Amino acid sequence: MTDDIVAGPETADIDECGRLGSSAVAGISSVVIGQERVVRLLLTALIARGHALLEGAPGTAKTLLARCVARTVDARFKRIQFTPDLMPSDIVGTHIFDPRSQDFVVREGPIFTDVLLADEINRTPPKTQAALLEAMEERRVTLDGTAREISPFFTVFATQNPLEFEGTYPLPEAQLDRFLMKIRIEHPEPEAEVEVLRRYAYSDSSHDEVREKVKPVFDAATLARLARTITLVHCEDKILRYVQAVLATTRSSRALVVGASTRSGLHLLQAARAWAALDGRDFVSPDDIKELAIPVVAHRLILHADAQVDGLSAEQVLEALLDHVEVPR
């Protein structure tokens, strides 16, 4: 992608967004079976210019999902396999001595790309995880004291195993907040799982099918138009008040030490606009807010110790709170 991602006033229409979204979902779902909602969530994050964190047990197609969504974009793609010995310089790059020029030159790291797959991000220590912070928030990196711009559409799709797995490091709250969404990947429904077994039982060809079946749907110019289009999706005042009521409810909950911030609400509206546009609508509905509240807000909440002892998760607490917030008509 080039700097034309931020140039030009033209926008796509809502119908075009819906058509392209449906095409992308169909292509990805032909490879990753039984995860249509997750696919839509990832496309929502992409169009909303946000980052997404996928969490699930090993073998639930997290990496395959991220690869497929990245494949729908005709752009530069790189992957980092996070390991305990990975260093920050392995991500952002460093200066190396060039014997031919007798000078130090910049060797750019994999962060200089458009779509980055950060695989098993919680397998590496916090110091290395933090190397992504500046890039995710400001779309630039500081390399040996010098700020360098990266792609204006830099997007991170990260995967992680649940924290109870051996050898994992929890992401700090500051980095979790950089992700527009945290999406839990569950095992597919029985019929979908049977289809996976039927299709891939005799060969491990799913990653090959990414190249064969998942075709690019968006290019840089299209994504730029879609990103501008979602700002035109209408949010009525009652939707804004509904979002504020959800935020306020989390702050008064005894099960939470830290409730949702105002930035959480802004990200929820941003995601809801993209979700509606992918559905071919030019307005946000209360159902959009309820659908997206858990993936957008829950990972920013901090549970009270008593709630943790009771075995509750932030998602469960938020789901219960949503049931007590009046839905606008």
Report all structural domains of the chain as residue ranges with CATH numbers, in order of start: 3-232 (3.40.50.300), 233-329 (1.10.8.80)
What rounded mean pLDDT belongs to the chain?
87
Task: List, for residues 9-25, the tens digit of each pLDDT value.
Answer: 456 688 989 999 999 99
pLDDT of residue 209: 63
pTM of the model: 0.88
pLDDT of residue 7: 39
Mean pLDDT value across residues 143-169:
81
Mean pLDDT of the 82-95 span: 87
- Spatial separation of the C-alpha atoms in residues 3 and 7, rounded to whole Å: 7
pLDDT at 282 over 50: yes
Over residues 35-57, the mean pLDDT reads 93
pLDDT at 173: 85
* pLDDT over threshold 60, residue 188: yes
Give the pLDDT confidence score for residue 318 in this predicted structure: 96
Q: Would you say residue 308 has pLDDT above 50?
A: yes
Residue with tokens 């500051």: 174
Residue among 13, 75, 73, 9 at smallest CA distance from 281: 13
Q: What is the mean pLDDT of residues 233-258?
A: 96
Query: What is the pLDDT averaged over residues 59-72?
Result: 87
For 290, residues 6+ apart whose C-beta sits below 8 A from its C-beta are 322, 327
Q: For residue 138, report the phi and psi dihedrals to the nearest 5 degrees.
A: -115, -5
Contact yes or no for 116/79 (Cβ under 8 A): yes
φ/ψ of 131, rounded to 5, equals: -65, -20
Confidence at residue 322, expressed as pLDDT on a 0 to 100 scale: 96
| pLDDT recorded at residue 165 | 64
Higher-pLDDT residue of 212 and 195 is 195
Structure confidence at residue 115 (pLDDT)? 87
CB 230 within 8 A of CB 47: yes
Residue scoring higher pLDDT (263 or 144): 263
